[in-house]
Amino acid sequence: MATDSSALEFPCSLTLNIPFPDARLSSIALQAIRVDKELSAMVQRHLSTVAPSEDTTEKSVLQVEYKATTNRMLRVAVNSFMDSLAFVLEVMEELDADVLEPPSS
């Protein structure tokens, strides 16, 4: 997907791999966050879930690749993503179905 001209236009890039306990949660984070488009045309973002290593097929890692025209735009975009991610994590930790209504043991 990354072409030579794309790398020239968006020279500043960063890839983050965020581990989740399982593929269900990484997929939920992906679906919740990717709906909103990047606000700036100077930033490109690609979100996906990937397996943490070759040993497993479970895609429990949320991977986000950011490309931006300047380091400042990259920093602003990534910081904003981290805010949303931290929020999603808190919602998962505190409000997941099994947290609110623990299955009777």
Q: How far is the CB of 89 from another protein (least distance, A)?
A: 9
Contact residues for 52 (Cβ-Cβ < 8 A; gap 6+): 17, 19, 60, 61
- Asked whether the beta carbons of 22 and 58 are under 8 A apart, the reply is yes
Task: Decide: is 28 part of the binding site for another protein (CB under 8 A).
Answer: yes
Contact residues for 97 (Cβ-Cβ < 8 A; gap 6+): none
Task: Decide: is 48 part of the binding site for another protein (CB under 8 A).
Answer: no
Task: Decide: is 22 part of the binding site for another protein (CB under 8 A).
Answer: no
Q: How far is the CB of 39 from another protein (least distance, A)?
A: 8
Six-digit token string for 88: 């999603």
Positions in the binding site for another protein (CB under 8 A): 28-29, 31-33, 35-37, 39, 83-84, 86-88, 90-92, 94-97, 100-101
